[in-house]
A and B are shown apart, each in its own frame.
Chain A
Amino acid sequence: MIVLYAILIWAAGWWLNVKLANGPQSENPIVKVLIPAIFGITVVIVWELLVRGFDVNPVILPAPSSIGARLMVEGPRLWADFQQTIIKGAMTGYIIGGLAAFGVAILADRSDFLTRGILPVGGFMAALPIVGTAPIFVKWLGSDWESKAAVVAVMVFFPILVNTVAGLKDTSAMQRDLMRTYGAGYWPTLFKLRLPAAMPFIFNGLKIATTLALIGAIVAEFFGSPTVGMGFRISTSFGQLALDMVWAEIVIAALAGSAFYGAMTLIEKRVTFWHPSQR
């Protein structure tokens, strides 16, 4: 019976979305947000109904309502995990890795020779399984957040480096010549022309790095962590078969990841308002 309801609700949600998407109002900003929202809510309701209808063992898949209950009850603990993993581990590593990449990119940019060497090597390194270094860093730097920050820093370093180096090359000869006729030296040209022109590339790298930072910090906690942190909580809750707690951490991670990514996109919009893709 409940399964039938699930199918009905799914059909109703889909029908509503078809109406909205093909209707005259489909370009309205509210409708644009409404369509994915309806889709999301439908999925959650269907999930809840199916879990109840089929009597799915909560060890395999908990219902959204029990995950929600966990989120409410375990607030303080989730907040502590969030601080340990996201603020201390991921953010510190993200900032260190980003600044280092930025510094190296500007150094490398001074010589065309180095640029040509760093682009392929950096692109290659960015594709490697750097998460695998997590056990090594935990051994070197101890199990607290420092080792997580180090893993994150190395992981975000290469995408940001490659994008920044590529961005700094993205000015036309005509633009650089114009700066030269103004009598601008290397640094004024860098700050007034090439850095602004590189911003779309730099933000591309920064946005890719946001998800990498979260993944690095959480995965590194599997190799040793103090008794707090999202990775620690996920693995221990899983050991106790408290899957609703695991899912609660996932929800937090997804929210934090979306917020982080969204924040980067917002800053990008403010900084690169002139770029064609933003207009």
Chain B
Amino acid sequence: MKSILPVLTVIGAILLFWIVCVPMMNMHLVADQAQRDELVVTPDTPAARQDYSGAGLVLRNTHLIPLTYTFVRPRLPSPHQVAGEMYDTIIDKKITSKRSLVYHGWVTLAPTLLGFLIGTGLGILLAVGIVYSRVMDKSVMPWAIVSQTIPILALAPMIIVVLGSMGIQGLFPKSIIAAYLSFFPVVVGMVKGLRSPDGMQLDLLRTYNASKSQGFWALRLPASAPYLFASLKIGISASLVGTIVAELPTGAKAGFGARMLVGDQYGQPLVSWAALFAAALTAAALVGLFSLIERITLKRMGMAAT
């Protein structure tokens, strides 16, 4: 609770920086428009204005500053424009509308969640295998780490097209990329978590004459919970990034990624920015949700963080 004020201050500083940047980024465009509207602009030809930086032009045309905040096709939209666009497309539009961000959000969210489930499931299985089999540990683990240096995001669009040509379309191809990205953090976290019980605890189980499976269910699995949750939080945001990038250059018609691209190609920056922020909000909500589940679960397991 004590950190609310500092956090608000930092967010305020970022907003202030943004607001200060708006006139400088947009002034060239606004000055061109103002000239067409027969307002006074110094210097008065577009070519002469090219010699000035954004800041220099702002200082010479202070009377145009208010216009930079309401310009329709800005290079950098002002915060209230983005907020307005988001309000318009999230709350005002019907969910079924093609312009509703709720609709596009669901198109992105569904493959994210499916992929996350697949990735987490496989990740936990592989982690169990690695912990219990020396061969897996020694042969697979190094490659799991190397696999992370493959920029899978760069391949996401190709994977979608290849699967599309094989007749697999829609939700599933995007889920594969989401699954791949959430897979690794879960493997690493779970391996660490399953190995976290120390020698003393393992010895105690041995004195109880516990079997291997009892040792797994009663000690290793519960002990891995905090590690698992830390991984889940990383994995879910990675999944979302994967889905969005998978949508970006593949000609997807719906989803956050498609919206970002549409806004870019049809000269509607506000659409892109609203989609970007909506994606960020979704990611934040997902991570927040997992933090909440984490807190409740760990508390009930008697492992609440202090």
Instruction: Find chain A residues with CB under 8 A from B269 CB.
Output: 136
Find chain B residues with CB under 8 A from A40 CB.
Answer: 143
Q: Tell whether A21 pairs with B134 under 8 Å between CB atoms, given A128-B280, A136-B272.
A: yes
- A132-B260, A246-B158 given; A258·B146 CB < 8 A: yes
Kindly specify which of A4-12, A69-77, A116-124, A190-198 makes contact with the partner chain.
Answer: A116-124
Chain A positions 55-74 with a Cβ under 8 Å from a chain B Cβ: 59-60
A234 within 8 A of B: yes
Interface string of B7-19 (1 = CB under 8 A from A): 1111100100000
A118 to B6, CA, bound (A): 8
Knowing A114-B10, A117-B3, A219-B245, say if A132 contacts B257 (CB, 8 Å).
Answer: yes
- Interface range, A side: 35 or more
Complex Cα gap A142–B55 (Å): 20
Q: Is the CB of A18 closer than 8 A to any CB of chain B?
A: yes
Known interface pairs A121-B10, A257-B150; A131-B245 also in contact (CB < 8 Å): yes
Among B143, B148, B272, the residue within 8 A (CB) of A39 is B143
Instruction: Spot the interface stretch: B58-66, B99-107, B218-226, B236-244.
Output: B236-244
Q: Please give, as numbers and ranges, the residues of chain B lying within 8 Å of A179 by CB-CB distance.
A: none
Given contacts A40-B143, A254-B150, A257-B149, contact A131 B241 (CB under 8 A): yes
Interface membership of A47, Cβ < 8 A? no
Q: How far is the CA of A39 from the CA of B75 in the complex (A)?
A: 51
Complex alpha-carbon distance, A18 and B137, angstroms:
11
| Chain B CB within 8 A of A133 CB | yes
The smallest beta-carbon distance between A207 and chain B, in angstroms, is: 11
- Contact indicator B154/A219 (Cβ below 8 Å): yes
Cβ–Cβ contact A117 & B10, under 8 A: yes
Could you tell me the dominant secondary structure of chain B's interface residues? helix
Nearest residue (CB) in A for B267 is: A139
Q: Which residues of B contact A140 (CB under 8 A)?
A: 25, 75
* Contact (Cβ within 8 A) B162 A60: yes
Residues of chain B within 8 A of A172, CB atoms compared: none
Q: Is the CB of B154 within 8 A of A234?
A: yes
Q: Contact check: which of A21, A117, A129 meets B9 at CB < 8 Å?
A: A117
Does any Cβ of B come within 8 Å of A215's Cβ? yes
Chain A residues positioned under 8 Å from B157 (CB to CB): 222, 235, 238
The minimal Cβ–Cβ distance linking A223 to chain B, given in whole angstroms, is: 7
A259 to chain B, nearest CB (A): 9
Q: In the bound complex, do residue A21 and residue B135 qualify as a contact, i.e. CB atoms below 8 Å apart?
A: yes
Known: A21-B134, A117-B6, A222-B249. A131 touches B153 (CB 8 A): yes
Report the separation of the CA atoms of residues A257 and B148 in the bound assembly, to the nearest whole angstrom. Answer: 8
Task: Say if the beta carbon of A103 comes within 8 Å of chain B.
Answer: no
Q: Tell me which of B8, B14, B233, B272 contacts A135 (CB under 8 A).
A: B272
Chain B 243-268 residues near chain A, CB threshold 8 A: 244-245, 248-249, 256-257, 260-261, 264
Is B166 located at the chain interface by the 8 A CB criterion? yes
Of A30-38, A94-102, A268-276, the segment with at least 4 beta carbons within 8 Å of chain B is A30-38
Contacts of A21 in B (CB 8 A): 134-135, 137-139
Minimum C-beta distance from B262 to chain A (A)? 10
A156 at the binding interface (Cβ < 8 Å): no
A113 at the interface (CB under 8 A from B): yes
User: For residue B284, which residues in chain A have a CB less than 8 angstroms away from its CB?
Assistant: 124, 127-128
Could you tell me the distance in whole angstroms from the C-beta of A100 to the nearest C-beta in chain B? 13
Secondary structure of the A contact surface, majority rule: helix
A92: CB under 8 A from chain B?
no
Q: On chain B, which size bracket covers the interface?
A: 35 or more
Which chain B residue has the least Cβ–Cβ distance from A119?
A: B3
Residues of chain B with a CB closer than 8 A to A238's CB: 157-158, 161
Of A127, A234, A250, which contacts B283 at CB under 8 A? A127
CB distance from B103 to the nearest CB of A (A): 18
Is A93 interfacial (CB-CB < 8 Å)?
Answer: no
**A215→B138 contact, CB < 8 A:** no
How far, in Å, is A268 (CB) from chain B's closest CB? 15
A256 CA to B9 CA, complexed, in Å: 40
In the complex with contacts A22-B135, A39-B140, A254-B149, A129-B280 CB distance below 8 A:
yes
* Given A121-B7, A127-B237, A250-B155, 19 additional A-B pairs, CB 8 A: A17-B135, A21-B134, A22-B135, A26-B134, A36-B141, A40-B143, A121-B10, A127-B233, A127-B234, A127-B287, A129-B256, A132-B244, A133-B276, A140-B25, A215-B151, A218-B154, A222-B157, A222-B249, A253-B154
Chain A contacts to B: CB under 8 angstroms: 14, 17-18, 20-22, 26, 32, 35-36, 38-40, 59-60, 113-121, 124, 127-129, 131-133, 135-136, 139-140, 210-211, 214-215, 218-219, 222-223, 230-231, 234-235, 238, 246, 250, 253-254, 256-258, 260-261
Interface residues in chain B, defined as those with a beta carbon under 8 Å from any beta carbon in chain A: 2-3, 5-11, 14, 25, 75, 134-135, 137-143, 146, 148-151, 153-155, 157-158, 161-162, 165-166, 233-234, 237, 240-241, 244-245, 248-249, 256-257, 260-261, 264, 269, 272-273, 275-276, 279-280, 283-284, 287
- Which 10 residue pairs of A and B lie closest in terms of their CB atoms, listed nearest first? A257-B149, A117-B6, A39-B139, A117-B10, A218-B154, A36-B142, A127-B237, A116-B6, A135-B264, A35-B138
* 19 pairs, CB–CB < 8 Å, chain A vs chain B: A21-B137, A21-B139, A35-B138, A39-B139, A115-B6, A116-B6, A116-B7, A120-B3, A128-B237, A128-B280, A129-B283, A131-B241, A131-B245, A136-B264, A139-B75, A214-B149, A234-B155, A238-B161, A253-B150
